[in-house]
Amino acid sequence: MALRDVDVDWASKLIGRQLEIRKRKQAPPSARKLLRAKNNMLSKDPVQVYCRLRPMQFANDISCMKIIQDTTIAITPPESAMNFRNGAQKEIQTTFTHVFAENISQREIFQIVSLPLVENLIHGRNGLLFTYGVTGSGKTYTMTGDPNDSGIMPRCLDVIFNSISNYQAKKFVFKPDKLNGFDVQSETDAMIDRQNELHAGLMTPRNTKTPRSRKVDSDSDSNPIICREIDDSRTVAVDHDYVYAVFVTYVEIYNNIVYDLLEEEEVRTKILQSKIVREDGNKNMYVHAVTEVEVKSSNEAFEIFQKGQRRRRVAHTALNAESSRSHSVFTIRLIQAPLDSEGEQIMQDKRSIIVSQLSLVDLAGSERTNRTKNTGQRLREAGNINNSLMTLRSCLEILRENQMQGTSKMVPYRDSKLTHLFKNYFDGEGQVRMIVCVNPRTDDYDETIQVMKFAEMTQEVQIARSTVAKLDFGLTPGRRQANKIFKEVRSRLEKEGHPEAANLEIDIGLVYSLGGPFPDLEITSPHNDQIIINLMNFLEQRINKRNLLRADLEQKQNDFRKMLLTVEQENINLKVENATLKASSTQQKKKVSALEGHLCKTEAQIDSLLRKLNTANDTIRSLQQELKDRDMALNQRIIDKQRVKQKYTSKIQHETDKMNRELEIKLKAQREHLQNQMKEKDDKIRLVKQILVNENGTIPILKDSTDEEHQQQISSKTPGKTEIRSRIDKLGVANPRYRRSQSADRWVDHRPEVLVPVGTILQPLMRRRRSVTKLTSPKEIIDGASRYCLTAQNEDTDGELETKLYKADILPTRGGGAQVVFNDVECLKQLSPTGQRKRSCPPIEKDNHVSADYLNHCANQEIGTVISKRPRK
């Protein structure tokens, strides 16, 4: 069937559809409304609204919201709410496309909400994303994030550049035409623009500072550039036969006036000029003369965003330290252009360009003036913010009413710059999504409930599905990759020594197809002329493509005829060459037969030599095995000899050690015997020395009654050396070096009955003691005791009662008696706090010795033995 016949058939179908539309117009109004609603449902999608709850900021905050399901939130009005005071205490449930809990991550929100918008952007469709909520609910954090956890906007940039990084066009190939479109420049013009930009960058002084755009609040000082980590884990499939470029714009709507945050203003003015919202030739709204910056990486785009962010209106309020005082719109525009038939150059036809955009809108927070305590300029800003949000709500309500009830009320888009700018999304085509950020505190209940109701109503608005008007030039898919592979093969052939490969040319050719199916021709309104216009454009494209395909077919036919003539001539030449090669082949076969006979004889000789070689190898292996066995036997003998040697060596060592131990024992016994003899001699010498030292003194001795006369003689006169030596065996001399273990001390506590109890806190510590009141015999001291303590009481010079404890060691004597040697005195005294004491101090006994009169008195009264002391020096 000819192409003209196909077009005639489609024209007849178009006439039939128009007749069908006339019949539908003659139907009753109720039927037309049902049909219109059905058509709208088939070609439109609802606005998708997501809800994100902010975590509690303080521990004492109370939440009034609870997530019931992934799509439903239950809201309980607090006692301070207006609904509670009006008697409406019932729990309110709101439903959304999806509800995000407080602990949701930025990555999950991006994947669920924004990633589909990025995919549509790369596929040529427009998208719009709002963040909406009260002041301080986390809208800016959701959109931008922080350096450690990026928000939606940086992640969108990362995915876009991850996907198109290998297919980006050179800078200035696409140039904005100031009318919301783009022109395609040649490579020469683009290179000139790149050189001019480089020259301007080199000529700019280093110390030049970018002037402030306008006077801003003190709370919005410029911040340093924030470094962040790029997420390269997500990509979207792109068409490899297209080249891509990314342009960004950043505007704000402040007090219902549009400002360009990226505008390079003059140094003198330092004031940003207001911009106008206009409509282009395709009925799309745009900001006239806005600055569009071409970026080549996500970091460059994010730096551009930060530059505009430092100029944005931010101020301090009672509810938020950095409250956004304007609506910000960051738009990412993606330009796609196909490559030519060879897959190398960009097609210069402006109609082939596909421009899609994604607008990320951070709305200013709705607020109450009685809570924010705003006055003056802040109050005016709050009023404009609330008015623009109210206009947005009114437009969506009227749009929903028109779609649900079939009415045709005028939507007041022009009442606000915000709604006027995005009119083509709601009234035309594009995917619209909204993130409602909510602070679940009970203090924000009254504002939050209004936001939730508006968001729930927004989901009922239907937006037309966007269609991509992509021109089909009949080019072969995959031509970029095919051209790349062809060049690699040609260069490899040239390196391998085939110079003729340089003359090879690739012919990817055209795809013989008139394009896809016809667009939707169903007319639902008598004023809808866009369908006819689209059909006319489609038919013009088909006619142009048909002419192009005819010309290409004729060219290929001529080329094919030439190729057939060339092949026929080559075939004749090959036949002649083939006959010559056959004659040469016959001679070569004879030579091959002779060589085969010689080869058979050589193979027989090789087989005999191989058999001899195998026999020799077997003999070598047997001899090697025999040698190995003999080595093992020799090693075993050596090991046995070493074991016998080690056995006898150990026996000799054992006998030697035994004899050494016996010799040491004998030597030790002899040494002890000699030491005992020397000790006995030392004891005798020490006794004689002691007697000689005490010639002029007295020896305190406790003796039995049988030696009383002998003791009196020693104390009454001083014997001579001869007399002492004659009596040395009869006297009981004490050993002054005698020591006994302190753990074995046993005390004799001598306390007369006449003592007065004083009850002092500190008392002497005697663990093992035997208390006596009167000594009648020396055996009471000698019997198992090593320490002696005598307690006495008297008055001091101040008339206070004083208790003294005289301590001594009991040393055994050679005669079987004991010697008491006093070595310590303790004084226990109890003073009256009201009494007057004399300043004179009692006499201090020197060298811890007791007066001789007192000790003699105690000895005569109690002990009945002689107690002597050393004379004072």
In total, the chain counts a number of residues equal to: 873
Tell me the residue type at 497: G
Strands (E), 185-296: 242-254, 257-260, 274-275, 277-279, 285-287, 293-295
Radius of gyration of the CA atoms of the chain, in A: 59
Neighbours of 741 (CB within 10 A): 7
Is residue 286 within 8 Å of residue 278, measured between CB atoms? yes
How far apart, in whole angstroms, are the C-alpha atoms of residue 377 and residue 216?
12
Q: What is the DSSP string of 19-31?
A: HHHHHHHTS-HHH
545 in a labelled binding site = no
- Of 844, 838, 860, 833, the residue nearest 804 (C-alpha): 844
135 in a labelled binding site = yes
- Crossing angle between the packed helical segments 445-458 and 377-405, to the nearest 10 degrees: 30
267 in a labelled binding site = no
Report in angstroms the alpha-carbon separations of 424 from 282, 285, 336, 413, 430. Answer: 10, 6, 21, 10, 8
Tokens standing for 285?
Answer: 């709204």
How far apart, in whole angstroms, are the C-alpha atoms of residue 316 and residue 135?
11
How far apart, in whole angstroms, are the C-alpha atoms of residue 678 and residue 771?
42
Is residue 469 within 8 Å of residue 171, measured between CB atoms? no
- Of 46, 51, 249, the residue nearest 139 (C-alpha): 51
- Of 39, 41, 9, the residue nearest 24 (C-alpha): 39
307 in a labelled binding site = no
Q: How deeply is 486 buried, as exposed, middle or buried, from its count of CB atoms within 10 A (0-12, 13-18, 19+)?
A: middle
Tokens standing for 212?
Answer: 């402030």
137 in a labelled binding site = yes
Please identify which residue in the block is written with the tokens 């990759």.
481
Q: Going by DSSP bridges, is the β-strand pair 174-176/182-184 parallel, antiparallel, or unpaired? A: antiparallel
Report in angstroms the alpha-carbon separations of 523 from 20, 518, 530, 651. Answer: 9, 14, 10, 121
408 in a labelled binding site = no
Which helix (H) or strand (E) element contains residue 537? helix 530-693
165 in a labelled binding site = no
Q: Would you give the end-to-end CA distance of the chain in angstroms?
A: 153
Which helix (H) or strand (E) element contains residue 723? helix 721-726
134 in a labelled binding site = yes
Tell me the residue type at 332: I
Tokens standing for 97?
Answer: 């496309």
How far apart, in whole angstroms, are the C-alpha atoms of residue 246 and residue 163?
12
Question: Which residues are part of a known binding site for ATP?
Answer: 133-140
Question: Which residues are part of a known binding site?
Answer: 133-140
